[in-house]
Amino acid sequence: MTKPGGQSIHEVNRLSWNAATAAHNSHKHDQAGFLRQGGSTLFPEEIDLLGEVSGRRLLHLQCNAGQDTLSLASRGATVTGIDISDEAIRFARQLSTESGIPATFDRTDLYDWLEAPPDGDARFDIVFCSYGAICWLSDLERWARGVAGMLIPGGRFVTLEFHPASMMYNERLELEYSYFGNGVPQKWEDGVDDYVAASEDCLTPSGYQDGIAAFSNPHPVHEFQWHLGAILSALLNAGMHIAQFHEYPFSNGARLFENMRKEPGGRWFPPSDFPAIPLMYGIVAEKPAPG
């Protein structure tokens, strides 16, 4: 189901991500040195869901500036990262060179890449995306078919994502938005924000630096609220089996609401007098092997 605006609004989002990515990276100290010395930007939850990646071919969708992609490569995977943002892929390639960690990066709309990959025969053991990827997809069924098409039989799709229930709340953790967005794009005039600066030191494992102050994004952005039923159904309709599904009462790295409580490990929880709500979920879906 392609919703109003369809793929053309991805191009508007591209501009917003270009501006925001530069702001985000401005706060991250010496990322190349951090990765070169064995540092990783991955959290334990996605490491658990991914399982063994060494020796596996891994496609990282919406890889942004490549920090997680290179962290996966450091764990022994052969990784291709793709993202629509010019600035993100420029930075990722530079980070790969400067850190000495090899990976392939392509700047592309993921729908174009999944339906016509540069190496038409390429297939992957694992397709992965995380932390704010699915909310940019205008067509879930098409995405899931593309993901399934990129996997070898027996291959796995893995995601660790912000929970759509968390999107029902405004920045003050007040209930404001519908859970069921049904893929209708929501336009935010203020664009992708500087969530790295807002998250204190939790998204900067290489060290926080001041960088760009009071960032204001000149480009609007369109986001899609997909409920869990739609996400799981899209994967099932594409012929995948759901092997694992988890929900978590905290957010890794990103301070989603102003009044969140920070716990060790870069975990953010609602204030202690607020009921526990799901803030992240994880899926492992397998492409069945024939027979």
Ligand X SMILES: C[S@@+](CC[C@H](N)C(=O)[O-])C[C@H]1O[C@@H](n2cnc3c(N)ncnc32)[C@H](O)[C@@H]1O
Q: Is 9 in the site for ligand X (CB under 6 A)?
A: no
Q: Is 85 in the site for ligand X (CB under 6 A)?
A: yes
- Output 171 or 241, the one with its CB closest to ligand X: 171
- Output 140 or 154, the one with its CB closest to ligand X: 140
Only one of the segments 62-70, 92-100, 206-214, 226-234 lies at the binding site for ligand X (rule: CB under 6 A); that segment is 62-70
Rounded to the nearest whole angstrom, what is the least distance from the CB of residue 269 to ligand X in the complex? 21
Q: In terms of Cα–Cα distance, which of 58, 221, 220, 59 is closest to 136? A: 221
Contacts 24+ apart (CB under 8 A), 166-169: 166/251, 166/256, 166/277, 166/278, 166/279, 166/280, 167/135, 167/225, 169/256, 169/257
Q: Are 76 and 100 in contact (CB under 8 A)?
A: no
Interface residues for ligand X in 197-226 (CB under 6 A)?
Answer: none
The amino acid at 212: I
Q: Is 63 in the site for ligand X (CB under 6 A)?
A: yes
Which position among 132, 149, 249, 278 is part of the footprint of ligand X (CB under 6 A)? 132
Q: Is 17 in the site for ligand X (CB under 6 A)?
A: yes
Q: Is 136 in the site for ligand X (CB under 6 A)?
A: yes
- Output 64 or 96, the one with its CB closest to ligand X: 64
DSSP-assigned letters across all residues of 202-227: TT-TT-B---S-S---SS-EEE----
Q: In terms of Cα–Cα distance, which of 166, 219, 205, 164 is closest to 21? A: 219
Binding site for ligand X (CB under 6 A): 10, 13, 17, 62-64, 67-68, 83-85, 88, 109-110, 130-133, 136
